[in-house]
Amino acid sequence: MVKKKIFINIGEYKVSKEPIILECIGLGSCVGICLWDRKKKIGALAHVMLGRSSDSHLSDINPFRFADKAIDAMLSDMLALGAKKENIVAKIFGGGNLFRQSGFKIGEKNVVIVEEELRKKGIPIVAKDVGGNHGRSIWFDTSTGKVVVGGPFIETKEY
């Protein structure tokens, strides 16, 4: 059976209890955050661009561009579908520094904030593929919790 695929753009997230594939294409400094309830098989994927909404005066334009707002929304929606917080795990991907010359290290900062926000919520990170100077694309199967990571300059891996 071929599963439906849903593309998650920057500043978007999707939660599903149906067996689907959630995908983010071209994660550079952005971070793809996968949350999965291992028992209920409820999955969520966010494509976040920045860390905390409190660090920006533009947080009301699209709050889900920010890791803190996206994680809160995903957890809330997952719990509403029947997920149990103690069964939820996280996998994170991206956070690359594609513009090494700029010195901003936005990707690194994004990863640190995502990790801090998940820790504050008590969500363990069970897998990650972050950093480096390359982009990634991810495909998250909500029925199994598996994430395939690939890109033009990296070997395809499964987490």
Active site residues: 30
Q: Distance between the two ends of the chain, CA-based, in angstroms?
A: 22
Q: How wide is the angle at C-alpha 146 spanned by C-alphas 10 and 93, nearest 5°? A: 40
Nearest to 94 by CA among 69, 126, 68, 131: 131
Residue 110's Cβ-side half-sphere holds a number of Cα atoms within 13 Å equal to 27
